[in-house]
Structure 1
């Protein structure tokens, strides 16, 4: 688990963003620079401590893709005693990330893991963004180890999200699986690919 500040000292409101697998913070390129943003990714482990956030007026937790389950595991180990967020938002992910009915089907996950290459990674990026992406480097060994860790941790405890976004054009987490995963919880839908952020022009559009 790694964390880094994308924006710091700009705002009295903070977003802690649990990102996805192997895509970095570029997924947020379309979002406005209006909040401080602390970005978290690399889920080979999920045991880092957050810095002191008590001076912020509002703190919003946003978990996307594999970050949803990673946050659930982190919350169970650290978060319940570490910090009380103003709100918690989940996007395009499941607490049961490798699951036939509630996550990425195991057969597809295994094929991704076993067949991981520079070429397959480019196809993954295209599917995630809904369009062809510029050629991007990847540390295959590290990202394969991250997939192994995600699968080994299994389903995560539910930290109690205030809103769950499901993308109608998601080619990574099947829409039907996410609807089952979040049955009975506050779902919202966006006509977007797995990386949905170009559909939002404000951070607070994710929760207001």
Structure 2
């Protein structure tokens, strides 16, 4: 995994954000908050470095899209005070649809990635590494689904064209979902981290 510090000021509280696949994070980085902020991405491997969190007394984990499954596999060792899943599921291939997931991987090129970004409402990727993005999808496909039930808040989008609303309901059986009236990339809906963390 790749770890990138957005704020590292020695605040006792850390927001650790598991990003989505092919997601530009500039809009996410602008969300207001005093806490330290660490963004994780590139899930070709899921190796977690304990040094990332050793200086923080409190951790809030926020996972988005494909990052939800990765975060769920880490939750047992992290024990954050809050864990929030946004527009993602612990079995992303099943929730997206195996045909769509595999078709995205098989046809991945600059044009298809641009179409995916438009469909998701994501910022267009800048200078994407297509080989790395393909390897990431393959690696995620090869891993077992993560356990359901480890998140204490689940946020989903009614207009999501990547993780559809009906599939999200099925992906989180018996768990309350906070619905937002947006597409797959809901971060323009919020101004600060507190609105997400609750």
What's the CA shift string for 1:119-168, capped at 9, x where partnerless?
111111112227xx556321111100100011111311236111000011
Match of 1:2 in 2: 2
Q: Partners in 1 of 2:57 and 2:187 — Cα distance?
A: 24
Deviation of the 1:57 alpha carbon: 4.5
Is structure 2 residue 176 aligned with structure 1 residue 186?
A: yes
- Cα distance change on mapping 1:111 and 1:148 into 2, 3 Å: same
Range moving further from structure 2, 55-64 or 21-30: 21-30
Instruction: Tell me the distance in 1 between the aligned counterparts of 2:149 and 2:45.
Output: 18
Conserved? CA contact 2:33–2:194, under 8 Å? no
**What is the count of residue pairs matched by the alignment?**
198
Runs of 4+ in 1 over 4 A off after TM superposition: none
Tell me if the contact between 2:19 and 2:41 (Cα under 8 Å) persists in the aligned partners. Answer: yes
Q: Distance in 1 between matches of 2:56 and 2:190?
A: 23
Scaled by the length of structure 1, the TM-score of the pair is 0.87
Q: SS of the counterpart of 2:142?
A: helix
Q: Within 5 Å, which residues of 2 pair with 1:101-140?
A: 103-129=95-121, 133-134=123-124, 136-140=126-130
The answer as to 2:146 corresponding to 1:156 is yes
In structure 2, runs of 5+ residues without a counterpart are none
CA distance in structure 2 between the aligned counterparts of 1:72 and 1:163, rounded to whole angstroms? 13
TM-score, scaled to structure 2: 0.91
**Aligned match of 1:85:** 80
| Aligned counterparts of 1:96 and 1:50: Cα–Cα separation in 2 | 25
Pairwise CA RMSD of aligned residues? 1.9
The unaligned stretches of length 5 or more in structure 1 are none
